[in-house]
Amino acid sequence: MKIGFIGLGNMGSPMAANLAAAGHEVIGFDPAGVRAEGVGTAQSAAEAIKGADVALTMLPSGTILRDVATDIIPAMDPGAVFIDCSTVEVDTARDLAEVCGAAGLFSLDAPVSGGTAGATSGTLTFMVGGPEQAFEKARPLLEIMGARAIHCGPAGAGQAAKICNNMILGATMIATCEAFALADKLGLEQQAMFDVVSTSSGSSWSMNTYCPAPGVGPASPADNGYEPGFAADLMLKDLRLALGAAERVDAAVPLGRAARDLYARFIDEGGTGRDFSAMLPYLRAAGFSPI
């Protein structure tokens, strides 16, 4: 396929490179001038998608996505597929699908899980919303960039799945960090804590796969000074998306709200640029009084 790829940041660049390495013709554009290995370079987003079978975006916000969509949709050929892999508002995904449909295009919202490591290794999980026909056309590309592609339902369903998943992740990481901080002050060895919880009812992805305590469990950002695999700033963005969606549909999310508020405070107090699991040293330094 011919693919126009817009947004060659930490996630987009390796994703585009994997598509090119698989033999697809990939033309990329990023306003920062970033390039990806094996990927051609365009001078604008509209130029990147000219004549493309698929336009693929990986962008930092819904506002930027709407601006890019305004530029590229008029330049896309009828029948082409617009795949957005950004994490944005559910309503933005649904609005984009409506505009694409009116222009004779297919649209998929396909946010990802797996972070930069998954983008590089081609092991991302895609949560996809949109028509079945478009999903089947896009599946070969998604399977190059990821290990799993799950069709979640109509337009917006992929974004809904992503924000629900990351709301769980934010809350469970905080709980995991709280437990390690408490264990430390009770004199419980970190390794013993991990050995018990990772095989007991408290086990979770945050504990078993992405343990926030350095030197315990599989290698994680905690073992690299909390350099981001998934930045705390991005976790806060996703929690804010989840809370915004919950407010619009009148859903009760008290733990999601608490997680959002705590990550906001963490970032305000120096957490910017650190991995979201750096919540552990932040909580270790805190006392019993509410923070």
Q: In whole angstroms, what is the distance from residue 127 CA to residue 162 CA? A: 7
The residue annotated as part of the active site, out of 2, 50, 137, 162, is 162
Active site residue 137: no
List active site positions. Answer: 162
